[in-house]
Amino acid sequence: MESSTILITIILITTSTNFINIVSAKAKVTVKNEIVIFNDCYSPDLRNIKDFHTNPGSVQISHCYLPELPNALFQNLPKLKTLEICESKLSHIQDYALNGLTELETLVLSRNNISVLKSWSNTDMESLHHLDLRRNSIKELTENALKRYPNLTKLNLAVNQISTIDDMSFIHTPHLKYLNLGKNLLTTVTKETFRGLHKLTHLSLHYNQIDYLDFYSFVGNSHLKSLQLQGNKIAVFESDYVANLPRLSFLNISGNVIETIGENSFKKSVEMRVLDLSHNLIQELPETTFSGLEVLEYLNISHNRIETLSKYVFEDFLELRFLDMASNNLTQLPDNVFEYVSHLTTLNLSHNQISEIGDTTFEHLKQLEVLDLAFNNLNHDSFLWVFEQLPFLNLSANQFNEINVTLLNMLCKSVQLYDNPWDCVFLVKELASHSHNAILHFGTNYTIKSKDAILEVPGLECIDSKTGKIRSIVLLDSKDNEDFISQQNSDPESVQTKQSKATIIDVGDGFDFKSILLWLCIGVFVVFGALLLLRNLLKRSERKSEEWRTQHQAELLNTIDDTEKAAKPSDENA
């Protein structure tokens, strides 16, 4: 059946002893194949679904006004497999509203005002596999809430107000694999909370208020592959939490208040590939913290308070590809600390306090593609010589006075060099004498006027080693600068060079003595000129005023004479 759209008008008549209330509503109904879609509808519109399709496989209802779902509303739709009622202000569902839906596989009731979870049927709904109740107002899970859904495999209860889960609440759903309880109000997880979920593979408890986990919270969930606990209030992470989860491959406990990670915490997590410990309060990592994580590929321990690293802390990481240690308190890196992570492709050490890196620290990272060392205290580049190639390098906001541009050109495709205290003499000479295959990003754009165009060119600030003043350097491409006449400041140490590839121009410090004197002279001339102009304008105004007064007096005298002449004949006639 081709897609069609039908507009129907329903007249609702409510009779009382005193008045009749007539409400007119228009429902938009779209039929496509076996799918019937209702928009902007009311409850009576749903009583005649078979008028639009005799046996629909899916009914989708959205943006309607359905405060209540009555009993047996869909009883005459035995072949219905998918029922969706979303954003329809649904707050109450009668106890047997789902009666007759024996083949229903997916039930979506998201974005409503439902406060109580029940089975809503007097018989088991054995075909139901997916139940979505996210973004409602459910406050608790009772023991019999899921009693009629024995074959449920996916349950989404995210973004509700659930604060308590009765023991044995999931005893009736032994086939459940995906459970999302994120963004609720849970505070504790006990050993009874998820009892009976032996097939559970994905559990989301993110952004609750959990501050207590029982040692055996997940003891019966040995098939668990993904566990999300981020955004809670967990202060202690014990090895027992995941000791009975040998299949766990994804663990996120970021955004908690964990201060310590014990030794051998993940020793039995032999299949873990992603571990996120970021945004906690971790101060140290014992040597055996990550023992057993031989297949781990992604580790994020950024935004903690780690001050030192053990030389052997990463020795079990045979497959690690991504390591993020940004925003900690590291001051140095042990020699060969990365000896065992030879497959690493991305390393983020930004926003630390690292001032020294040994020449051989990175020698085992032959596959590294991204190295971020921004916002540290580095002032030398000798550690870069061990690389054969390093496509992306970030050295912004360090303490570099000079750097080997030749080396950067050989290694890198892109280099971030913002906010370093470069030495002007070195920088001009170095940049002027090399072709820049690497894209060097200095972080400042300058506007330069040429004969035929206004150029926006990259540049940077540097420090004049003789005066200690900050100067500005801009890098111009010669093809845009053929007619550009560069003007140097009077510093004899500055270098003016024009090559086929680039021209370096020292703009100089705009606040030195000569500049101040020049601007002072210009200001005096401007003020003097303004005074002269004002005096001339005043003289011209006075002259025009005098002319106007003279003219006005003459006109007045003429008027008086004419009046006297006209008066004489009158006197004679009298």
Query: Cα(68)–Cα(351) distance, rounded to whole angstroms?
Result: 54
pLDDT at 8: 40
- Whether pLDDT at 489 is above 60: no
Per-residue pLDDT at 37: 93
pLDDT the model gives residue 503: 39
The pLDDT value recorded for residue 556 is 60
Asked whether residue 301 carries a pLDDT value surpassing 90, the answer given is yes
Over residues 82-138, the pLDDT tens digits come to 999 999 999 999 999 999 999 999 999 999 999 999 989 999 999 999 999 999 999
Evaluate whether residue 301 is within a structural domain: no
Tens of pLDDT along 426-474?
877 776 665 556 677 766 666 666 556 665 666 667 887 777 788 776 6
- In single-letter form, the type of residue at position 212 comes to Y
> What average pLDDT does the chain have?
83
341 falls within a domain: no
Please give the Cα distance from 295 to 248 (Å, whole number).
12
Kindly indicate the confidence band of residue 54, based on its pLDDT and cuts at 50, 70 and 90: confident
- Check residue 18 and give its pLDDT: 31
> Does residue 129 fall inside a structural domain?
no
Non-local (6+) Cβ contacts of 375 within 8 A are 350, 351, 352, 396, 397, 398
Give 441 or 269, the one with higher predicted confidence: 269
Question: Would residue 261 count as lying in a domain?
Answer: no
CA angle 532, 536, 542 (to 5 degrees): 145
Could you tell me if residue 406 is inside a domain?
Answer: no
Domain of residue 467, residue span: 445-506
Average pLDDT over residues 60-86: 93
480 in any annotated domain: yes
378-400 pLDDT, tens digit per residue, is: 999 999 999 999 999 999 999 99
Of residues 452 and 179, more confidence is placed in 179
Average pLDDT over residues 347-360: 96
Give mean pLDDT, residues 285-306. 95
Quote helix, strand, coil % in the chain, to nearest 5.
Answer: 15, 25, 60
Q: Which residues contact 268 (CB under 8 A, 6 or more apart)?
A: 242, 243, 244, 245, 246, 292
Q: Do residues 171 and 148 make contact, with C-beta atoms less than 8 angstroms apart?
A: no
Q: What is the pLDDT of residue 533?
A: 78
Nearest to 344 by CA among 327, 360, 316, 364: 364
pLDDT value at 252 more than 80 = yes
- What single string gives the DSSP state of each residue in 307-369? ----TTTTTT-SS--EEE--SS---B--TTTTTT-TT--EEE--SS---B--TTTTTT-TT--
Average pLDDT over residues 545-550: 66
Q: Count of domains in the chain?
A: 1
Answer whether residue 473 is part of any domain. yes
Give the Cα separation of 245 and 496 in Å (integer): 67
Out of 284-298, 397-411, 475-489, 510-524, least confident range: 475-489
Calculate what percentage of the chain has a pLDDT beyond 70: 76
Q: Quick one: pLDDT at residue 454?
A: 63
Q: What is the mean pLDDT of residues 345-373?
A: 96
Query: Among 13-17, 93-97, 305-309, which stretch is predicted with the lowest mean pLDDT?
Result: 13-17
Q: What pLDDT is stored for residue 443 in this prediction? A: 63
* Radius of gyration for the chain, computed over Cα atoms and rounded to the nearest angstrom: 40
Residue 491 lies in a domain: yes
